Amino acid sequence: MDGFRTIAISLLVAVTAATSPTPALAQTFPTKAIRFIAGGAGSPADMRVRQVAEKLKESLGQPVVVDNRPGANGAIGAKLAARAAPDGYTLFNCTILHALNDLLNPDPSSRLNKELVPITRLTSGPPILAVNPSIPAASLHEFIALAKARPGALSYAASSQGSVIHLLGELIKSKAGINIRAISYKFTSQEIPDVLGGHINGTLNYYNILGPHINSGKLRALAVASAKRLQAAPAIPTMSEAGLPGAEATGWNGVCVPAGVPQPVIDLLHREVVKALNDPVIRNQIIETGATVGGDRPEEFAAYIRADLIKWGKVIKDSGISAQ
């Protein structure tokens, strides 16, 4: 009887070990190179991905290869990542762009929080509303008054249609009750010269792009679209402080993996990515560019994405924006 009992216990242990993820999986992971799929090379998001990849290489002891897959408004990289084996060896640089794709042009093969699940945010940052100094408005209040006095006459560079910057512009117009023209640009390199030259009256963009022009006086910052002032530019008031509460937006990028990656591997990846973000050099660089350091838990990042989908889904519906 004792022999039968011993055999039964041994079989139970063996079956449990074979069918349940265990911490041992995280102890052996990784045993080969990891691929980190990202968008276009040279962007601020790509730079953070490469910094984190280098730190992961050091801490995990395996190569972490950045695979840039631009195109189709980010959909090419998302599809590639979602089709990868759910084993932790494929990471994906998910961004606000992909969340907006899920609203404007949903693809059931590569949706955030579904086929692609979150690990953590890397960085996030709010756009700044800035105008050419020739515009007679020293504050957001004066800019709104000018726009009301001259409906349809003022313009702002809005990045591409359906971007978070474009949607923020629509949100500002709705809350302020103004009519200003959104001028779409495919590349920031085309947008900024037109704003500096006065061909476009203003712009909504991030501090890492506008900061040098604001500091030199070539652009006048009116408000930042966040709940708190930027640590890198504390003199710029928030939209709420400037008289337009609720006009907030955040551009963000993070790490996602294909759905089905075992929880011990997700936990390990989260721990190591957060460790990389807390490297003093990386952390200070993020803050200096007007962004916030990420590091939230996977479930927190998932909730953050859901909230963005609800918020921007309403703006898209109310403003009648559609995918191009």
Q: What pLDDT, in 10s, does the model give residues 71-103?
A: 888 999 999 999 999 999 999 999 999 999 999
pLDDT bucket at 24, cuts 50 / 70 / 90: low
Residue 186, pLDDT > 70, answer yes
The set of residues, in sequence order, having a beta carbon less than 8 Å from that of 121 and lying 6+ positions away, is: 252, 253, 254, 294, 295, 296, 301, 304
Q: State yes or no: cis peptide before 30, omega within 30 of 0.
A: yes
For the residues 16-33, what does the mean pLDDT come to? 66
Q: Residue 195 carries which side chain, given as an amino acid letter?
A: V
Six-digit token string for 294: 């990420």
268: exposed, middle or buried (C-beta count within 10 Å: 0-12, 13-18, 19+)?
Answer: buried
Give which of 28, 177, 29, 4 is closest to 90, Cα–Cα: 29
Q: Residue 170 carries which side chain, given as an amino acid letter?
A: E
What pLDDT score does 27 carry?
Answer: 73
Give which of 257, 228, 260 is closest to 241, Cα–Cα: 228
What pLDDT score does 189 carry?
Answer: 83
H helical segments located in the chain: 2-19, 23-28, 44-60, 75-83, 96-104, 140-149, 164-176, 188-196, 207-215, 263-277, 280-288, 298-319
Residue 240, pLDDT > 60, answer yes
Distance of CA 94 to the CA centre of its chain: 7
What pLDDT score does 324 carry?
Answer: 59
pTM, 2 dp: 0.89
- Express as a percent the part of the chain with pLDDT over 90: 84
What would the pLDDT profile of 110-147 be if each residue is shown by its tens digit?
999 999 999 999 999 999 999 999 999 999 999 999 99
What pLDDT score does 23 carry?
Answer: 56
β-bridge partners, 35: 65, 90
What pLDDT score does 119 carry?
Answer: 98
Residue 195, pLDDT > 80, answer yes
The set of residues, in sequence order, having a beta carbon less than 8 Å from that of 42 and lying 6+ positions away, is: none
* 34 neighbors 62 (Cβ within 8 angstroms): yes
Q: Residue 16 carries which side chain, given as an amino acid letter?
A: T
DSSP helix/strand/coil, 291: coil
Return d(Cα 226, Cα 158) in angstroms, integer: 18
What pLDDT score does 188 carry?
Answer: 83
What pLDDT score does 322 carry?
Answer: 80
Six-digit token string for 156: 């702002």
Helix, strand, coil tally for the chain in percent (to 5): 45, 20, 35
Domains of the chain: 27-125+251-319 (3.40.190.150), 128-224 (3.40.190.10)
Return d(Cα 270, Cα 252) in angstroms, integer: 17
What would the pLDDT profile of 264-323 be if each residue is shown by its tens digit?
999 999 999 999 999 999 999 999 999 999 999 999 999 999 999 999 999 999 999 886
Residue 237, pLDDT > 90, answer yes
